[in-house]
């Protein structure tokens, strides 16, 4: 009898489904052309909006390019109510006029800083942040956020230290020089980054990817080289992952959802010089739910995924909802993508949550 009643209590206590305000993805790579058409529907199925990264080839450096790109994104998600939020790619030559035009456009919501050479398609990025003062001044004035890929490119700096050194050499001086500039420290990976964000005022926030919450750097070397766990910033040691879990689990509004889902064809990942990027858009919200449940913070998921991002950007929260069911789903080994294969995170494995259609 005692066993039976305990079983019933357990059954009631175990969450079987959760309904959330429709979430947004505050850091996403959609690419262009056929790849865009293959991957965009995954995001539109889960998220209402996404901040779309501008690191195309050529990069989206002007409002004119962003106008053309947003049309292609909208065509790729036709028939859905998904809203792409566009970004401009900051260069040494971005003018204050271009920033003004971006702000006026209303559909460009931020400007992305890629230090030149830091990551995928960053060759056109910034060689010295001092060259961007006029643009940054205008962004500060307009309230247009700067989204930061926070890694130094100095080859003398250990790859695992590049985020921390970026804080000391670039981000700290930048926040001092532009005290009113809104900044999102993208895809943070270290306790140093989490602490930095916490120490700053409300104008500095951070996105946290699900892969940096799920894995530490061992995941890149488990039984051999694991190219599908290679991204930038690279996965860090366990104590840093724990700091990220603590940051999101604490329910602090400075930390919000940004997948950094980045599609690369299988053959380009499994190569002698594999590309950086992890594709998570196929099951992003279910993966975050799995992480939040594992740390006993499912009650914090909705604000992280659906409230803190729009609050930071000064945009309205979504009004619709999605429901996740405690129902296992098996992740496919790959998806077709522009005549190639795309290997998603957790390919061939099972996860406990499924988005209700
Ligand atoms: O892993 C990454 N992939 N990090 C980035 O910063 C860029 C992204 C991509 O575009 O593939
Ligand atoms: Zn990214």
322-357 pLDDT, tens digit per residue, is 999 999 999 999 999 999 999 999 999 999 999 998
Q: Would the CB of 119 count as within 6 Å of ligand 1?
A: yes
Pocket test for ligand 1, best of 25, 211, 231 (most atoms within 8 A of CB): 231
- For 294, other C-beta atoms within 10 Å of its C-beta total 14
With contact defined as beta carbons under 8 Å apart, do 240 and 246 qualify?
A: no
Do residues 216 and 245 lie in contact, with contact meaning Cβ atoms separated by under 8 Å? no
As given in the structure block, the two tokens for residue 25 are: 């993805």
Taking the centre of ligand 1 as the mean of its atom positions, its distance from the CA of residue 33, in whole angstroms, is 18
Answer whether 306's CB lies under 8 Å from 317's CB. Answer: yes
131: which residues sit within 8 A by CB, 6+ positions away?
92, 93
Query: For residue 272, what is the enclosing H or E element?
Result: none
Which of 112, 260, 281 is the pocket-test mutation for ligand 1 (most atoms within 8 Å of CB)? Answer: 260
pLDDT computed for residue 1 by the predictor: 42
- Say yes or no: CB of residue 203 within 6 Å of ligand 1: no
The pTM for the full model equals 0.96
Percent of the chain whose pLDDT exceeds 70:
96
Distance between CA 318 and CA 78 in Å, rounded?
19
Tell whether ligand 1 has an atom less than 6 A from the beta carbon of residue 120: yes
User: How would residue 15 be classed by pLDDT, with cut points 50, 70 and 90?
Assistant: confident
Q: How many helices (H) and strands (E) are present in the chain, helices listed first?
A: 14, 15
The mean pLDDT of 114-122, rounded to a whole number, is 92
Q: Which residue's alpha carbon is nearest to atom 8 within ligand 1?
A: 277
User: Separation of 119 CA from ligand 1 center, angstroms?
Assistant: 6
**pLDDT confidence tier of residue 12, bands split at 50, 70 and 90:** very low
The residues assigned a catalytic role are 260
> What are 184's strand-pairing partners?
147, 205
Give the Cβ contact number of residue 300 at 10 Å: 17
Q: For ligand 1, is residue 338 a contact (CB within 6 Å)?
A: no
d(CA 273, CA 151): 20
Mean pLDDT of 283-310: 98
> Does the pLDDT value for residue 9 go beyond 80?
no
For residues 214-240, average pLDDT? 98
Q: Please identify which residue in the block is written with the tokens 């790959």.
A: 334
| C-alpha of residue 276 to centroid of ligand 1, in Å | 6
How much distance in Å is there from the Cα of 9 to the middle of ligand 2? 43
- The torsion defined by the Cα of 194, 177, 110 and 150, in degrees rounded to 10, comes to -40
Answer whether 276 contacts ligand 1 (Cβ < 6 A): yes
234 close to ligand 1 (CB < 6 Angstrom): no
pLDDT value of residue 357: 87
3-state secondary structure 84-116: EEEEEECCCCCCHHHHHHHHHHCCEEEEEECEC
Task: Please report the pLDDT score of residue 250 as a whole number.
Answer: 98
Alpha helices in the chain (DSSP H): 2-13, 33-46, 63-76, 96-105, 133-142, 162-166, 172-177, 191-199, 210-214, 238-249, 266-269, 284-294, 301-302, 308-313
Token pair for residue 137?
């001044």
The bound ligand whose nearest atom lies closest to the alpha carbon of 259 is 2
């Amino acid at each position: 009898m005692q066993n039976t009643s305990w079983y019933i209590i357990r059954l009631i206590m175990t969450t079987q489904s959760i309904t959330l305000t429709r979430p947004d993805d505050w850091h996403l790579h959609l690419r262009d052309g056929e790849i865009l058409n293959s991957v965009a529907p995954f995001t539109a199925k889960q998220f209402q909006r996404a901040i779309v990264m501008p690191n195309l080839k050529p990069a989206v450096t002007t409002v004119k390019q962003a106008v053309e790109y947003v049309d292609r994104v909208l065509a790729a998600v036709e028939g859905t109510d998904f809203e792409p939020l566009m970004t401009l790619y900051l260069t040494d030559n971005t003018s204050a006029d271009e920033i003004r035009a971006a702000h006026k456009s209303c559909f460009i919501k931020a400007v992305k800083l890629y230090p030149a050479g830091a990551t995928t398609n960053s060759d056109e990025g910034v060689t010295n942040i001092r060259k961007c003062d006029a643009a940054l001044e205008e962004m500060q004035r307009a309230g247009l956020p700067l989204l930061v890929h926070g890694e130094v490119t100095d080859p003398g700096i250990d790859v695992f230290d590049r985020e921390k050194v970026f804080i000391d050499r670039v981000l700290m001086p930048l926040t001092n020089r532009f005290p009113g500039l809104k900044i999102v420290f993208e895809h943070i990976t270290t306790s140093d980054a989490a602490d930095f964000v916490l120490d700053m005022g409300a104008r500095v926030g951070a996105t946290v990817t699900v892969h940096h919450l799920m894995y530490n750097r061992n995941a890149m070397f488990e039984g051999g080289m694991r190219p599908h766990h290679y991204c930038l910033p690279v996965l860090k040691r366990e104590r840093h992952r724990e700091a990220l879990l603590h940051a999101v689990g604490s329910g602090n509004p400075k930390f919000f959802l940004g997948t950094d889902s980045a599609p690369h064809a299988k053959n380009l990942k499994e190569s002698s010089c594999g590309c950086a990027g992890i594709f998570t858009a196929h099951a992003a919200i279910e993966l975050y739910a799995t992480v939040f449940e594992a740390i006993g913070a499912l009650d914090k998921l909705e604000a992280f995924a659906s409230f803190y991002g729009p609050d930071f950007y000064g945009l309205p929260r979504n009004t619709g909802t999605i429901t996740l069911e405690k129902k296992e789903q098996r992740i496919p080994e790959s998806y077709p993508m522009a005549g190639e294969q795309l290997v998603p995170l957790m390919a061939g494995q099972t996860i406990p949550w499924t988005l209700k259609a």
